[in-house]
Amino acid sequence: MLSRRNPQLNSHGELIHLLSTEGLPRAVLTQILDTASTFLAVGERDIKKVPLLRGKSVFNLFFENSTRTRTTFEIAAKRLSADVINLDIARSSTAKGESLLDTIANLSAMQADMFVVRHSESGAPYLIAQHCAPHVHVVNAGDGRHAHPTQGLLDMYTIRHFKKDFTNLTVALVGDIVHSRVARSDIHALSTLGVPEIRAVGPKTLVPDNLRDMGVRVCRDMAEGIRDADVIIMLRLQNERMGGALLPSAGEFFKHYGLTEEKLALARPDAIVMHPGPINRGVEIDSSVADGRHSVILPQVTFGIAVRMAVMSILAGNDA
């Protein structure tokens, strides 16, 4: 049965859906990160497969475009030996007027075991989790401006890999936070894992003041925001989600909030620079930084496959 307190957990506190990092206990977050460590070596084998999801069907339901996330989920599921079905949303029944829940009911009748869902509407994966068959697990691959939990988890894995311990870090998130589901997922996970100083850096139009209610330090000045930071997470300007002109120009944004070598020098000497991608070079980050020695952007992508393998394997092992 679903927990009334958290629809992601069963009555034993085990993960049955991954919908958000918000509300997940530290033990569950740590379990995912630890499990991902065991899968990292699979990518280095000649035969990059383990049989944990053999006979299971994973449906990728991407109602919103994403190459990187969909591809890494597909690779992760195939490495777990699952059968992967990519639904062509542009030609699917939902494009012909069928409701989301009717689509889910029909796919469940095809013996689906797991839905990986990306949707432009916040809350869509929750709705699916409430109405799918009890044996089906739902993974949120990004919903509206709400959450992107596997990106948050792979960010946590990256931080732990390079920094080992969360409890003495200063982490700065820079850029378009108001539209960023990644930022929300990161903030919830960082808080749960014990990071003492979380900063949100950007202009007032892109960084809401109410983040202070979550224990986040809001900084309008870039120098203040990244000074002595251990981790800097740069965020993409999501122009497609902006209802109006929230910035004078991309050039003006880069001048004040773009990460350059000069600004990076304010952070700790061993600081790491992260980015969920896709990168807009010369808008939020300079190429010399994106490709420089502090950047761990490409390792993030590699870690993302292991993290998504971990999530799917844990879900498949737990009953509602």
Q: Which two tokens stand for residue 258?
A: 């773009």
Are 110 and 204 in a shared domain?
no
Per-residue pLDDT of 180-213, as tens digits, reads 999 999 999 999 999 999 999 999 989 988 999 9
- 33: CATH: 3.40.50.1370
Are 169 and 33 in a shared domain?
no
Q: Is residue 67 part of a domain?
A: yes
Are 216 and 238 in a shared domain?
yes
Are 134 and 244 in a shared domain?
no
Are 41 and 98 in a shared domain?
yes
Q: Annotated binding site for carbamoyl phosphate: which residue ranges?
A: 68-69, 118, 148, 151, 277-278
* Whole-prediction pTM: 0.93
Domain count, the chain: 2
Q: Annotated binding site: which residue ranges?
A: 68-69, 96, 118, 148, 151, 181, 236, 277-278
Are 63 and 37 in a shared domain?
yes
Asked if the model's pLDDT at residue 1 lies above 50, the reply is no
Per-residue pLDDT of 253-279, as tens digits, reads 899 999 999 999 999 999 999 999 889
Query: Which residue carries 């996330």 as its tokens?
Result: 69
Per-residue pLDDT of 10-59, as tens digits, reads 999 999 999 999 999 999 999 999 999 999 989 888 889 999 999 999 99
Q: Is residue 14 part of a domain?
A: no
Are 64 and 181 in a shared domain?
no
Query: What DSSP string describes 220-278?
Result: SSHHHHHTT-SEEEE----GGG-SS--SS-HHHHHHHH-B-HHHHTTS-TT-EEE--S-
Are 142 and 263 in a shared domain?
no
Which residue range is the domain that position 136 belongs to? Answer: 26-147+302-316
Q: Annotated binding site for L-aspartate: which residue ranges?
A: 96, 181, 236
Are 208 and 138 in a shared domain?
no
Q: Is residue 15 part of a domain?
A: no
Are 69 and 121 in a shared domain?
yes
User: What is the pLDDT at residue 90?
Assistant: 57
